[in-house]
Amino acid sequence: METKEFSYNKIVKNGDDCQVELYYFGTSKKNIDILKVENLLDKFMYNIHHGNAIETMRFLNTMLKDFKQKKLFFDYDAKDRQYSLEYRDSELYCYCTELKNKKNPKIIELEITYTLGEDLEIRKDDKNSDTIEYLTNDDTLATIKNIFNEVKRLKNVDIIKLEYSSKMLIQIYKLFYKEYPDFSNIKETNIKTQTMVYILSELGYPLQDYCNFSSYGNGAPMDLNLATLTRKLFPLAKIEMVNDPIPLNKAAVEVISYTGSRIKDVVADDDKEQELEKLMRLSQIMYSSRNRVSPIGDIEKVKEDTNCTQEEIQTNLQLIKSIEESI
């Protein structure tokens, strides 16, 4: 198969204080859907926070794993810091970061540059302060040490691979929703994952490490570790299959599949946004009735707490009660 070239070049402004730029050129002998790759990179540029250079490269390496990299340049310029990365043939060629004054971002407190084959170059651009005093400050020395370690790690950044917890989550998601998740659809996948894991934990089937749910304001319950995990898997986009799946308990499989089917019957909507709203209201009502009102399940108090209608509350609580009685 002939070698195909691929290039991507985009500059994106995310608000008034942040701009990101990505240039990539590579080749591949595989039959790759280029439009699919470009769409995923667009989502990465517009929807992901890029403040962590190592995470940025892990995301990029994962999304572009089917290409042989020839050149990659990435620049992140925000209110608190700036960094730029250049790779040539997958080797870190240049790294530069600027640490900005928190009160006045126009003042560069420190600029550190790494170039292949050379030592770190450290520059203090603010002429209004004592350079020696600044560079021997404990906080500054700690920052320099962290950046030195960051450069070492940037020389060898792995791609994202499915681990035990992420495999388990994906398999349960497939049983519950009858489809694999698309982690590039950040909002949808996070809402569906949070709702699923919360409901299953309340039914006695908790997913280890993801059971610390809290309701912020009077909204749907969320587990921050779970949100972090779904975001971490963004570069994998739409999952097609899970290699070496985790063996699941047969009884748990039946409960998960049954619960998902019952919930789908109630929340299914041609309008995806409406379907997500129904899912969030279900977990919101369930959480409120069990954790935020007394006595538990008081419909009038749940109505006041959630701003949901009495019909919504009764329908959703009856659904959960029916599922509990059936499993």
Same domain, 181 and 289: yes
Q: Mean of the per-residue pLDDT values for the chain?
A: 90
Same domain, 122 and 259: no
Is the Cβ–Cβ distance between 50 and 44 less than 8 Å? no
Is the Cβ–Cβ distance between 93 and 116 less than 8 Å? yes
**Residue 108 — very low, low, confident or very high, per pLDDT cuts 50/70/90?**
confident
What's the CA angle centered on 231, arms 78 and 101, to 5 degrees?
Answer: 20
Number of domains observed in the structure of the chain? 2
Assign 10 to helix, strand or coil.
strand
Question: How far is residue 195's CA from residue 176's CA, in Å, rounded to a whole number?
Answer: 11
Same domain, 84 and 103: yes
Q: Report the percentage of the chain scoring pLDDT > 70.
A: 95
Same domain, 144 and 35: yes
Note the pLDDT tens digit of each residue in 210-266: 778 988 877 899 999 999 999 999 999 999 999 999 999 999 999 999 999 999 999
Question: Which residue segment(s) compose the domain that 280 sits in?
Answer: 164-326
Note the pLDDT tens digit of each residue in 2-46: 888 999 999 999 877 899 999 999 999 888 999 999 999 999 999
Q: Does residue 159 belong to any structural domain of this protein?
A: no
Closest to 78 in 3D by CA, of 39, 46, 50: 50
3-state secondary structure 78-131: CCCEEEEEEEECCEEEEEEEEEECCCCCCCEEEEEEEECCCCCEEECCCCCCCH
**Residue 120 — very low, low, confident or very high, per pLDDT cuts 50/70/90?**
confident
Q: Does residue 122 belong to any structural domain of this protein?
A: yes
Same domain, 179 and 322: yes
Same domain, 194 and 126: no
Same domain, 141 and 287: no
Q: 202-227 burial, b if ≥16 CB within 10 A, otherwise e? A: beebebeebeebebeeeebbbbeebe
Is the Cβ–Cβ distance between 173 and 192 less than 8 Å? yes
Residue scoring higher pLDDT (70 or 134): 70
Same domain, 146 and 20: yes
Same domain, 273 and 132: no
